[in-house]
Structure 1
Amino acid sequence: MLNITVNDIVKAVNGTLLCGDGTQIIEHISIDSRSSQGNDIFVPIIGEKVDAHRFIPQALEIGCVATLTSEHEQMTGEKAWIRVADTIDALHKIGRLCRSRIRVPAIGVTGSVGKTTTREMIATALSAQKKVFKTSKNYNSSVGLPITLSEMTNEDDIAVLELGMNVPGELGTISDLASLDMAVLTNIGVAHIEYFGSQDEICKEKYTITKGFHGKGFLFINGDDPLLVKYKDLTGYPYVLYGTSADCEYRAENIRTVEGKYQFDFVHKNQTVCVTLSVLGHHNVLNATAALAVADRVGVDVKAAAKALESFTGFQNRLQRYEIHGYTVIDDTYNASPASMKAGLEVLANYNAPGKKIAVLGDMFELGKNAPQYHYEVGKFAAKLPLDQMLLVGKNATFIGKAMNESGAACEVLIMERKEEAAAYLGDHVQEGDVVYIKASNGMKLKEITTYLQSKEK
């Protein structure tokens, strides 16, 4: 935060200072009562199961110098207590206050799949010639975005902000806080469809990222996504298409693999630049194309940006490779949707390995009443791939196996009751030269399988 005091926050949130020093400098926002970076203000979130107001004493004890509260009318003490009507609304107002102090242009990234990887690739490309601020961790939500904004400084040249959504209205709200200059729309899938009803409605909601433009902005739209193209004129803001089709102004052409790495020609007007990727997955060609399109738009030399992208090897729990006792584990357990699971299975199918290709798949969440059908469709897709073995964990994951069996897939399908059973099976059966791909929604905690295999003695 930039020179923000308790009094500044009281004014911004239309709150009441119950006690404490109004001139106290606030440097960080904390939503975790177990940690403090120093001069934090604690924001107690009222969740479905836990009201964090009960953790205020703990937060103040470990180092927070101020706290918001919507449940106290009178307090005494040296540390500042600020009474507000609603702590999340107040958090948004603090985020807006922080952003108002920052003059750095910002690029928003949203989409159903690949937001984080695209964010990281854009930041990597821009870092060739600019000092880049980017969203840390997964602070891309109604709660996380204000924290991200509080970490920005005027020392950066440009910011790359990831913006997610879980429910209608959320994306437009946080985009407005972010004050964006440009935005990238990656794709439209079925994640969170239970809250929106259809992919068309999801697509329209994704375009509300333009609420962050405040009258002036520019869009980068995936021209290979039919829904994004269908609604490309919805907002009235100028845009360019990126992708592989002929009508994309920024294109990836001549996509090939060279020594196990994806390579393609990035084409824009009269310029063609050869790009080599170190990250797994054909879908990352599109993500890289978006990154290079943004780089070109903001004045970064495309050749320098492409060189920087070659150093990008992925992000935590997203197609991360581990070599364990002579076999390979591809950990893709951060989250899952039908589109990302299919993309990951393609990575496994195309992986150059002398041994077996083994998929470990778990349930995908937030798919609504049609969740079994979405899992079944993944199974139909997987049945066409050259896989050797599939381990399935979770109630809905069994529909993947059902589709595999009904499609006559040669791949052996094993149903596991628990992730621990899958981990033990792999520990006993995986051999040197095998490659194991692990994917599910984060709540399935299949990351623990990777951890188990890493800890197991040879």
Structure 2
Amino acid sequence: MEHIRVKQVMEAANGRLLCGNEEQVLANISLDSRNMSGLDLFVPIVGEKVDAHRFICQAIGNGAVAVFTSAHRDISQVEKAIADWESRGNDGKAARKAAWIAVEDTKAALQSLGKYCRNRLSIPLVGITGSVGKTTTREMIAAALSAGYAVYRTPGNSNSQVGVPITMSSIPSEAEIAVIELGMSEPGEMEKIARVACVDSAVVTNIGIAHIEQLGSQENILREKLHIQDGMNPEGILFVNGDDPLLADIQAEGGRRIIRYGMSAGCEYRAEDVRLDEGYPVFTAVHGEKRTPVRLQVMGTHMVGNAMAALAVAAEYGVDMEEAARKLGEFGGYKGRQQIHGFQGMTIIDDSYNASPVSMKAGLEVLSSMKPGARKIAVLADMKELGPDTVEFHREIGRYIAEHPVDQVLLYGELAAAIGEGLREAGGQSPFLLCGSLEQVKEWLKRETKSGDCILFKGSNSMKLGDAVSEFMGQN
């Protein structure tokens, strides 16, 4: 936040100052009472298990100069909270000096503040949503746009009801365009964050089965994702993946333009002559009469669609496609998402951040495309939030491996065991080992791997395969 004071935050969030200075300058928003960046507004979120209001004084002690609160209605309640803090041996001076802002609901107040920050921006915002590949597509779009703009992009994974408002508050004045990721996992969530972000253009990468437990069907997921158009600039563009059967025939709302990208014949931005060169995609990007050669530094044919989304957005915002393709060629991936590492003569494919059937097959394709003759090892963990057909989706991966064999499969997790069932039922020849713990995975890797091996790590983030990667490579 630049040039924002407590009184403006109060107005934006319809808050009431219980104590403190309304002229206090604010620069950052924090949800974590332990970490402050300086001149922070601490927003305590009420979760299912923890109410962060209990950490308000701790947040102030760590540097927050203002707080939202829905748990304190007057100065006497503030004084009681500070007295309790002091009774545990802490200094309450900073807590008495800080601005305590009473609001009805801290999450809703944060979203109102995010909308206020969005309204102060004059630069275009490009929103990204989809079931798979949002973060990689976000990074690739930012890379392509950087050929013509100073680009700000969503930091980390801040794509939620609380993350998007903070992103809106973090966009610096020197940015010329912003690429914002919008995620959702439950009905109504996309509408809320879309009305905070009010994007100028939107990209929908695909409609998969992530969060199908909460939403019930892919058609419901599609409807939710398309709420990214709520609050969108009426003259904006909706970019959709023309290769996705659920997106191929949709129309944009409100008469907006729709642009399709991908490898299908009907796409306005289309990839042709696609091939893999040692796992890295090489292709020609076609738009009208213009043909642009592209070579990526991220692996797998599934990256071609992400790249075409990036080129389409960049071109529509006036960036020369050849310059955008050059910048795309410099993009080397994002942590935990098909990062390629060399370690003691081995090739490590760290794709441990998340998993779905589509992305797991893509990871296995990358593994198979690696150095001919090298031993290929797939370390696969549970795929989460896939709904009532979860076990069948895991068996499907096993059948895929039967058709695209690797030299060794390690399966970690109760659901991942179904991958072995599918592999065995399909008559696959790839040997597999069921691991009952992450420690067993780590021990096998330390004991059995050798120089020349290619190893893929793929699973849902909650399975913590990233920890196994870090420890295996000596980073822990």
TM-score > 0.5 by shorter chain: yes
- Aligned position for 1:228: 247
Residue 271 of structure 2 aligns to which amino acid in structure 1?
Answer: A
* RMSD of aligned Cα (Å): 1.4
User: Structure 1 residues 173 and 219 mapped into 2: Cα distance closer, same or farther (>3 Å)?
Assistant: same
Cα pair 2:131 2:207 within 8 Å, conserved:
yes
- Aligned position for 2:365: 346
User: Structure 1 residues 312 and 86 mapped into 2: Cα distance closer, same or farther (>3 Å)?
Assistant: same
- Aligned position for 2:172: 153
For residue 233 of structure 1, report the CA deviation from its aligned partner. Answer: 4.9
- Aligned position for 1:123: 142
- Aligned position for 1:266: 285
- Aligned position for 1:359: 378
Residue 256 of structure 2 aligns to which amino acid in structure 1?
Answer: Y
Match of 1:303 among 322, 340, 351: 322
- Aligned position for 1:104: 123
| SS of aligned partner of 1:68 | strand
CA distance in 1, matches of 2:47, 2:172: 30
| SS of aligned partner of 2:41 | strand
Match of 1:84 among 76, 97, 103: 103
Match of 1:424 among 443, 448, 461: 443
Match of 2:432 among 413, 417, 428: 413
Residue 29 of structure 2 aligns to which amino acid in structure 1?
Answer: I
CA distance in 1, matches of 2:123, 2:159: 18
- Aligned position for 1:205: 224
CA distance in 2, matches of 1:94, 1:448: 36
- Aligned position for 1:40: 40
Cα pair 1:277 1:312 within 8 Å, conserved:
yes
Larger mean Cα displacement after TM superposition, 186-195 or 5-14: 5-14
Residue deviations 1:336-357 (CA, integer Å, cap 9, x gap): 1111111111111111253211
Cα pair 2:279 2:299 within 8 Å, conserved:
no
- TM (norm. structure 2) is 0.94
Cα pair 1:42 1:56 within 8 Å, conserved:
yes
Correspondence 1:182 to 2:201:
yes
- Aligned position for 1:13: 13
What are the within-5 Å matches in structure 2 for residues 276-355 of structure 1? 276-355=295-374
- Aligned position for 1:64: 64
Cα pair 1:427 1:456 within 8 Å, conserved:
no
Cα pair 1:92 1:146 within 8 Å, conserved:
yes
CA distance in 2, matches of 1:408, 1:448: 32
- Aligned position for 1:373: 392
User: Structure 1 residues 242 and 295 mapped into 2: Cα distance closer, same or farther (>3 Å)?
Assistant: same
Residue 66 of structure 2 aligns to which amino acid in structure 1?
Answer: A
Residue deviations 1:394-437 (CA, integer Å, cap 9, x gap): 11111111000111111001100011101110110011111110
Percent of residue pairs bearing the same amino acid type: 48
Cα pair 1:401 1:413 within 8 Å, conserved:
yes
User: Structure 1 residues 214 and 307 mapped into 2: Cα distance closer, same or farther (>3 Å)?
Assistant: closer
CA distance in 2, matches of 1:97, 1:235: 24
| SS of aligned partner of 2:261 | strand
For residue 386 of structure 1, report the CA deviation from its aligned partner. Answer: 2.6
Correspondence 1:215 to 2:234:
yes
- Aligned position for 1:194: 213
For residue 456 of structure 1, report the CA deviation from its aligned partner. Answer: 9.0
For residue 335 of structure 1, report the CA deviation from its aligned partner. Answer: 0.9
| SS of aligned partner of 2:473 | helix
Correspondence 1:114 to 2:111:
no
Cα pair 1:354 1:434 within 8 Å, conserved:
no
**Count of aligned pairs between the two proteins:** 457
Residue 27 of structure 2 aligns to which amino acid in structure 1?
Answer: E
| SS of aligned partner of 2:152 | strand
For residue 214 of structure 1, report the CA deviation from its aligned partner. Answer: 4.6
- Aligned position for 2:24: 24
For residue 330 of structure 1, report the CA deviation from its aligned partner. Answer: 0.6
Residue 153 of structure 1 aligns to which amino acid in structure 2?
Answer: P
Correspondence 1:138 to 2:157:
yes
CA distance in 1, matches of 2:474, 2:160: 34
For residue 281 of structure 1, report the CA deviation from its aligned partner. Answer: 1.4
- Aligned position for 1:173: 192
| SS of aligned partner of 1:229 | coil
Cα pair 1:4 1:26 within 8 Å, conserved:
yes
Residue deviations 1:182-240 (CA, integer Å, cap 9, x gap): 11110111000011111111111111100131533211110000001243356643201
Cα pair 1:210 1:217 within 8 Å, conserved:
no
Cα pair 1:355 1:431 within 8 Å, conserved:
no
CA distance in 2, matches of 1:347, 1:212: 39
CA distance in 2, matches of 1:182, 1:135: 15
Cα pair 2:278 2:370 within 8 Å, conserved:
no
CA distance in 1, matches of 2:252, 2:424: 43
CA distance in 1, matches of 2:124, 2:101: 31
For residue 260 of structure 1, report the CA deviation from its aligned partner. Answer: 4.7
- Aligned position for 1:402: 421
Residue deviations 1:286-331 (CA, integer Å, cap 9, x gap): 1011100111100001111101111101001000112111111111
For residue 261 of structure 1, report the CA deviation from its aligned partner. Answer: 2.6
**Structure 2 residue runs without a partner (length 5+):** 80-95
Cα pair 1:163 1:174 within 8 Å, conserved:
yes
Cα pair 1:183 1:209 within 8 Å, conserved:
yes
Correspondence 1:384 to 2:412:
no
